[in-house]
């Protein structure tokens, strides 16, 4: 089932000062003035959440733009220097990306940590944007399905049928992230179907049809429409192109039915 409104999520990664991020947000808002036919989320660095939260409150017209964190700690509080917890983020953001492949690969984040992050996010009212996806070697070895199923199995192990509705699953093949090579339509549809079927099997049809499944990996203003028209695609997670206001706006427009 495709849900009525697409969700477009921008992941700003480690880019922009607070001043630059504020201007970027203003420009995105300006480009999309009056638009209300999509759920729009931007995920800036953690330092930007508070000022951008305030900035968003000052916007008087559509579009409604929501905030997400890029990551949360797998602990709630305590001696964990450098971490930011769900409790700290929840007053500023509605969502948190969890298990992005850059965190899995560059920071050695494990599926056990991701399981805890998902549980903590849900406990404190944050909606997880859970990223799963295979790397190139795994795809070449014919292991893509198994990798994604294993990630889902572990990462969602503490999730209930009621909670799954709040989770957005982002299928992000690692080889497509930041490379300019997006997955082929057939590959995307195949994975979205696999993920949906896994959710249905585990959580039941009703709960599973309400959670969103999106694609991420080199989405831009040109390919966004075709990707979002694919069967089972509820939206997109956008990295590089989310830093360009006109292009991000074009992607948001491309999601309009
Ligand atoms: C991402 O960082 O999640 C991502 C999809 O990046 P890009 O759009 O740049 O490939």
Indicate which CATH number applies to the domain containing 166: 3.20.20.70
219 lines ligand 1 (CB under 6 A): yes
pLDDT of 208 reads 81
Structural domain harbouring 175: 6-12+31-254
pLDDT (average), residues 179-186: 94
By the 8 A CB rule, do 114 and 154 touch? Answer: yes
Ligand 1 center to 190 CA (angstroms) = 20
| 147, part of any domain | yes
Q: Residue of the nearest CA to atom 7 in ligand 1? A: 239
CA 248 / ligand 1 centre spacing (Å): 12
Short-list 161, 186, 160, 159, CA closest to 173? 186
Q: Confirm whether 68 is domain-assigned.
A: yes
Give catalytic status of residue 100 as yes or no: yes
Give me the residues paired with residue 238 across strands: 10
Query: Using alpha carbons only, what angle is made at residue 176 by residues 170 and 180, rounded to the nearest 5 degrees?
Result: 125
Instruction: Answer for the pair 132, 153: CB distance below 8 angstroms, yes or no.
Output: no
Instruction: Let me know if residue 64 belongs to a domain.
Output: yes
Active-site residue among 55, 102, 134, 172? 172
Residue 19 belongs to some domain of the structure:
no
**Pick the catalytic residue: 29, 31, 55, 100?**
100
Predicted confidence (pLDDT) at residue 2 exceeds the cutoff of 50? no
Taking the CA atoms of residue 19, residue 21, residue 27 and residue 33 in that order, the dihedral angle to the nearest 10 degrees is -120
Start-end of H helices in 18-68: 18-31, 49-58
* Residue 158 CB partners (closer than 8 Å, separation 6+): 115, 118, 119
Tell me, yes or no, whether 250 lies in a domain: yes
Q: Give percent of the chain with pLDDT exceeding 70.
A: 98
Please write the tens of the pLDDT for every residue from 193-235: 999 999 999 999 887 888 999 999 999 999 999 999 999 999 9
d(CA 227, CA 2): 13
Give yes or no: 172 in active site.
yes
- Pocket lining: 237 vs ligand 1, CB cutoff 6 Å: yes
User: Is 70 within the bounds of a domain?
Assistant: yes
Question: How many domains, the chain?
Answer: 1
- Residue 56 maps to a domain: yes
Angle at 218 (CA atoms; ends 135, 174), nearest 5 degrees: 10
For ligand 1, is residue 11 a contact (CB within 6 Å)?
yes
Does 193 map to a domain? Answer: yes
pLDDT digits (tens, 9 = 90+) for 26-71: 999 999 999 999 999 999 999 999 999 999 999 999 999 999 999 9
Residue 3: what pLDDT?
Answer: 59
Residue-wise burial string across 119-132, b where 16 or more C-beta atoms lie within 10 A, e elsewhere:
bbbbebebbbbbbb
């Amino acid at each position: 089932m495709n849900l009525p409104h697409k969700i477009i999520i921008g992941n700003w990664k480690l880019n922009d000062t607070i001043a630059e991020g504020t201007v970027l947000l203003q420009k995105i808002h300006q480009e999309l003035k009056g638009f209300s036919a999509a759920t729009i989320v931007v995920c800036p660095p953690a330092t930007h959440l508070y000022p951008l939260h305030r900035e968003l409150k000052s916007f008087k017209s559509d579009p409604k733009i929501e905030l997400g964190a890029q990551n949360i700690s797998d602990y709630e509080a305590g001696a964990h220097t450098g971490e930011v917890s769900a409790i700290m983020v929840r007053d500023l953001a509605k969502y948190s990306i969890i298990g992005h492949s850059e965190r899995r690969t560059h920071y050695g984040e494990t599926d056990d940590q991701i399981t805890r992050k998902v549980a903590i996010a849900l406990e404190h009212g944050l909606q997880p944007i859970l990223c799963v996806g295979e790397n190139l070697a795994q795809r070449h070895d014919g292991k893509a399905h198994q990798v994604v199923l294993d990630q889902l199995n572990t990462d969602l192990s503490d999730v209930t049928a009621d909670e799954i509705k709040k989770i957005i699953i982002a299928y992000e093949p690692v080889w497509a992230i930041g490379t300019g090579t997006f997955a082929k339509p057939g590959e995307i549809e195949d994975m979205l179907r696999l993920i949906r079927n896994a959710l249905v099997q585990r959580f039941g049809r009703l709960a599973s049809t309400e959670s969103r499944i999106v694609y991420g990996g080199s989405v831009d203003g040109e390919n966004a429409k075709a990707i979002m028209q694919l069967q089972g695609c509820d939206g997109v997670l956008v990295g590089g192109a989310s830093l360009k206001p006109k292009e991000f706006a074009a992607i948001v427009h491309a999601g309009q039915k």
